[in-house]
């Protein structure tokens, strides 16, 4: 095949991929900017029957490509430029003028390259896994149900990515239909095709199979996306993989080598471990991973007849749909330094969700302090009506601007957080004891597993640190917000104090006016004692009010605001404290075994040292201690306001009763009408005028005394 050159307004940009039988090129139109991908076939050193089979597959792929019209499959492009089409097709003139396959261009590479990124060493993040599986599920269902074909070559290289403008939104599309075949109605296919690591075992054996071969391949891809590694002996020779898969139990979803150095020599059956659970070293929430684990038992059933089924009913799609539509709220507990995840539904009551949260975090309901991230769309817990309100769809996407959790919680009884030591896997424990001198004979699989587990531990600790700092900052803001939310209640309490003072003055003037007309020392002493008691009680409440509200309230609000803007949050989260980026940069598979071993051992030693230092950081301790005191102050003020309002209401009721009693006793007593005559109404009017003056004074005071 000659080197491609520009033709008319079309320029070749670059080669997108190349294999043994062809290559894919990117072209761009000079005027319109349109981009297309062209797939060329090349035939080299093939026997005549193999060449014919290859040509047949090419024409089949070309024909299928023209029919596929859903967004989850790479579509064919029909160009109007006939001269350019002739130009492209002339490159196939040497192979019986087979047509060039022209497709839409997807600018994000393929899933294999995306998986190979260093940050995906322990698998993709949950959002990407959901997106890929959703697209793959729809593409395969379309092929099986509407086109009646099997793909038979599903693998990460054949899942193409298209990026939206700006590079944030990713769309995954299925490509490469070279091995696609019709699903026969009464017979089972028997040809051996596909990429061995992703092909179902019955295909490799040359046995009969059906469309469930695609279920197996999707299962392998799903496991690899979740854990960053293929499920079945990724470091072994292919014949050992197939041989061992034949022996796996139905519910086994992974097979790994047994690297236990204590078993020497290994006995029959000791070489491999059949695994029924997802590897814990992954980047997904626990809820999602466990759900996918159950589904993988359907997809990776080694019996093609029962694969994807529960009993006689096909559940491959419905079970996957339920997983992909599930809503998972991520929660970070500042007290225990742990992530939690909970599936929520639209009908789930908030109370039920919070009770479950208390049970899982082991925090009593009365001590649970719930904190929303600063940019949560609900802004405040007052706006939360159901558990679903805690869920934010966009935040399952791992972007720098998104919070690491949808909710933070704290046990208000505790000041210090319970930072646990990293949990090391048996592989890490074994390799930490090895020395460089005796690692030359180290298994490649063991060394790579050690690196994978080391990377997970460091990246997981970095994620916990960032979530903790983010949560602590939100905690400070939330405490300040809660304190400031008390301002209306505080102002109401102040108003009630002023009104009550006015009413006491009204009562005192009434008593004074009436006692001028009546000579009764005993009666006079009773009423004066009551007035004195009222004054003392209000004075005591007022003294407590001003000390709390004018001194402590403002000081604590200012303290919370300062804690929310401390530089330590940015310093610790942005400065690669645990040396994760440094470890990633040093990650090279072509290094000597001893160098790779020592790099991982050093990274783990540094992690332990740094973690202890952060745990003892005096500023973080001071922030936690201060915020604990602030929450206690908030709870006390809230409790006191309620009690004081209730107390003032009782006092005002008592004043009303006392006023009525004294007026009835002195003014309306039948035996003493001549003392006052019509004076009783005048006294009541004067008393109400005094109260109006007090309230007027109170309103002026309110304007000048508002708590800032």
Q: What is the 3-state secondary structure (H, E, C) of 607-671?
A: HHHHHHHHHCCHHHHHHHHHHHHHHHHHHHHHHHHHHHHHHHHHHHHHHHHHHHHHHHHHHCCCC
Query: Which residues does the chain have with pLDDT short of 50?
Result: 1, 185-187, 190, 192-193, 261-265, 519, 668-678, 680, 697-698, 700, 702-708
List the end-to-end C-alpha distance of the chain, in Å, as a whole number: 80
Contacts by residues 687-694 (CB-CB < 8 Å, ≥ 24 positions apart): 687/506, 687/509, 687/510, 687/659, 688/506, 690/502, 690/505, 690/506, 690/509, 691/502, 691/503, 691/505, 691/506, 694/498, 694/499, 694/501, 694/502, 694/503, 694/505, 694/506
3-state secondary structure of 302: coil
Question: Alpha-carbon distance 632 to 624, whole Å?
Answer: 12
Question: Buried b vs exposed e over 250-288: b needs ≥16 C-beta within 10 Å?
Answer: eebbbbbbebeeeeeeeeeeeebeeeeebbebbbbbbbb
The number of CA neighbours under 13 Å toward the Cβ of 569 is 16
Question: Alpha-carbon distance 137 to 87, whole Å?
Answer: 37
DSSP-assigned letter for residue 264? S
Question: Alpha-carbon distance 394 to 408, whole Å?
Answer: 17
The answer to whether the CB of 143 falls within 8 A of the CB of 210 is no
Question: Alpha-carbon distance 172 to 447, whole Å?
Answer: 33
Tokens of 259: 């690297």
Residues in CB range of 317: below 8 A, 6 or more apart: 137, 141
Pairing assessment for the beta strands 35-41 and 22-29 based on DSSP bridges: antiparallel
Q: What is the pLDDT, as a whole number, of residue 452?
A: 94
The answer to whether the CB of 144 falls within 8 A of the CB of 214 is yes
CB neighbours of residue 359 within 10 Å: 10
State pTM to two decimals: 0.85
Question: Alpha-carbon distance 283 to 122, whole Å?
Answer: 7
Tokens of 555: 């000081």
Helix (H) or strand (E) holding 219: helix 212-227
Q: What is the pLDDT, as a whole number, of residue 44?
A: 73
Q: Which residue has the tokens 């204590």?
A: 262
Tokens of 319: 């079970």
Q: What is the pLDDT, as a whole number, of residue 180?
A: 61
DSSP-assigned letter for residue 274? E
DSSP bridge pairs for 333? 338, 409
Q: What is the pLDDT, as a whole number, of residue 341?
A: 97
Question: Alpha-carbon distance 425 to 244, whole Å?
Answer: 24
The answer to whether the CB of 15 falls within 8 A of the CB of 2 is no
The answer to whether the CB of 484 falls within 8 A of the CB of 380 is no
Q: CA-based diameter of the chain, in Å?
A: 136
Pairing assessment for the beta strands 254-257 and 272-275 based on DSSP bridges: antiparallel
Question: Alpha-carbon distance 483 to 555, whole Å?
Answer: 11
3-state secondary structure of 73: strand
- By C-alpha distance, which of 653, 321, 362, 652 is closest to 498? 652
Residues in CB range of 349: below 8 A, 6 or more apart: 386, 387
Residues in CB range of 230: below 8 A, 6 or more apart: 197, 220, 223, 224
pLDDT digits (tens, 9 = 90+) for 160-175: 999 988 767 899 999 8
Residues in CB range of 13: below 8 A, 6 or more apart: 25, 26, 27, 28, 35
Helices (H), 263-312: 286-299
Tokens of 135: 């697209």
DSSP-assigned letter for residue 234? T
Question: Alpha-carbon distance 521 to 519, whole Å?
Answer: 6
User: DSSP of 378-412, one letter per residue?
Assistant: T-SGGG--BGGGG--GGGGS--TTS-S-SEEEEET
Radius of gyration of the chain (CA): 38
Q: What is the pLDDT, as a whole number, of residue 708?
A: 46
Pairing assessment for the beta strands 101-104 and 35-41 based on DSSP bridges: antiparallel
The answer to whether the CB of 549 falls within 8 A of the CB of 487 is no
Residues in CB range of 266: below 8 A, 6 or more apart: 258
3-state secondary structure of 8: coil
- By C-alpha distance, which of 221, 218, 231 is closest to 137? 218
Inter-axis angle of helices 444-484 and 593-615, to 10 degrees?
Answer: 20
The answer to whether the CB of 175 falls within 8 A of the CB of 55 is no
- By C-alpha distance, which of 180, 239, 234 is closest to 205? 239
3-state secondary structure of 16: strand
Report CA-CA distances (Å) from 180 to 60, 144, 204, 375.
Answer: 8, 11, 17, 48
Report CA-CA distances (Å) from 109 to 112, 274, 666.
Answer: 8, 34, 97
Q: What is the pLDDT, as a whole number, of residue 343?
A: 97
């Amino acid at each position: 095949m000659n080197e491609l050159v520009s033709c008319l307004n079309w320029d070749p940009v670059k080669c997108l991929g190349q294999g043994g039988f062809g290559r894919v090129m990117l072209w761009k139109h000079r005027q319109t900017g349109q981009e297309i991908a062209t797939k060329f076939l090349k035939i080299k050193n093939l026997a005549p029957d193999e060449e014919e089979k290859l040509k047949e597959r090419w024409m089949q792929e070309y024909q299928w490509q023209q029919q596929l019209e859903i967004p989850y499959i790479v579509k064919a492009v029909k160009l109007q430029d006939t001269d350019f089409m002739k130009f492209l097709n002339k490159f196939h003139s040497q192979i019986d003028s087979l047509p060039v396959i022209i497709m839409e261009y997807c600018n994000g590479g393929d899933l294999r390259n995306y998986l190979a990124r260093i940050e995906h060493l322990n698998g993709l993040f949950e959002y990407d896994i959901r997106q890929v599986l959703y697209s793959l599920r729809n593409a395969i269902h379309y092929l099986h149900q509407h086109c009646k074909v099997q793909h038979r070559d599903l693998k990460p290289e054949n899942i193409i990515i298209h990026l939206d403008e700006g590079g944030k939104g990713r769309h995954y599309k299925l490509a490469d239909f070279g091995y696609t075949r019709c699903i026969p109605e009464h017979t089972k296919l028997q040809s051996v095709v596909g990429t061995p690591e992703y092909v179902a075992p019955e295909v490799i054996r040359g046995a009969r199979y059906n469309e469930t071969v695609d279920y197996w391949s999707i299962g392998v891809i799903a496991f690899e996306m979740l854990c960053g590694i293929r499920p079945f002996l990724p470091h072994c020779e292919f014949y050992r993989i197939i041989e061992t898969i034949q022996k796996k139990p139905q519910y086994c979803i992974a097979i790994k080598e047994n690297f236990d150095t204590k078993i020497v020599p290994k006995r029959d059956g000791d070489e491999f471990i059949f695994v029924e659970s997802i590897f814990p070293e992954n980047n997904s929430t626990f809820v999602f991973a466990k759900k996918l684990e159950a589904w993988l038992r359907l997809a990776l059933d080694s019996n093609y007849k029962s694969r994807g089924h529960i009993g006689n009913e096909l559940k491959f799609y419905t079970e996957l749909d339920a997983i992909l539509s599930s809503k998972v709220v991520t929660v970070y507990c500042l007290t225990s330094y742990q992530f939690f995840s909970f599936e929520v539904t639209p009908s789930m009551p908030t109370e039920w969700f919070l009770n479950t949260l208390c049970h899982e975090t082991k925090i009593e309901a009365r001590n649970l302090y719930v904190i929303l991230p600063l940019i949560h769309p609900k802004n405040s817990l007052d706006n939360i009506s159901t558990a679903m309100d805690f869920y934010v769809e966009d935040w399952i996407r791992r972007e720098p601007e998104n919070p690491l959790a949808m909710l933070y919680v704290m046990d208000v009884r505790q000041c210090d957080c319970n930072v646990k030591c990293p949990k090391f896997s048996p592989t890490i424990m074994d390799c930490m004891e090895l020395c460089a001198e005796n690692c030359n004979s180290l298994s490649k699989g063991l060394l790579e597993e050690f690196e994978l587990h080391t990377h997970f531990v460091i990246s997981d600790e970095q994620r916990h640190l960032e979530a903790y700092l983010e949560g602590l900052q939100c905690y400070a803001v939330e405490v300040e917000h809660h304190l400031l939310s008390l301002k209306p209640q505080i102002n109401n309490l102040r108003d009630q104090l002023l009104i009550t003072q006015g009413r006491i003055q009204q009562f005192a003037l009434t008593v004074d006016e009436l006692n001028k007309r009546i000579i009764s020392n005993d009666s006079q002493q009773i009423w004066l004692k009551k007035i004195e008691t009222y004054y003392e009680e209000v004075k005591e409440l007022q003294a407590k009010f001003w000390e709390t509200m004018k001194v402590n309230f403002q000081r604590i609000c200012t303290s919370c605001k300062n804690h929310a803007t401390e530089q330590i949050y940015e310093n610790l989260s942005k400065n690669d404290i645990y040396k994760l980026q440094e470890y990633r940069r040093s990650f090279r598979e072509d290094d000597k075994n001893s160098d790779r071993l020592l790099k991982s051992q050093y990274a783990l030693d540094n992690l332990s040292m740094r973690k202890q230092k952060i745990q003892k950081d005096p500023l973080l301790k001071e922030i936690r201690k201060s915020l604990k005191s602030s929450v206690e102050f908030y709870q006390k003020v809230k409790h006191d306001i309620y009690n004081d309002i209730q107390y003032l209401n009782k006092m005002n009721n008592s004043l009303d009763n006392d006023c009525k009693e004294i007026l009835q006793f002195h003014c309306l007593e039948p035996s003493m009408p001549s003392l006052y005559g019509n004076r009783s109404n005048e006294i009541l009017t004067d008393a109400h005028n005094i109260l109006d003056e007090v309230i007027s004074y109170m309103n002026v005071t309110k304007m000048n005394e508002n708590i800032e």
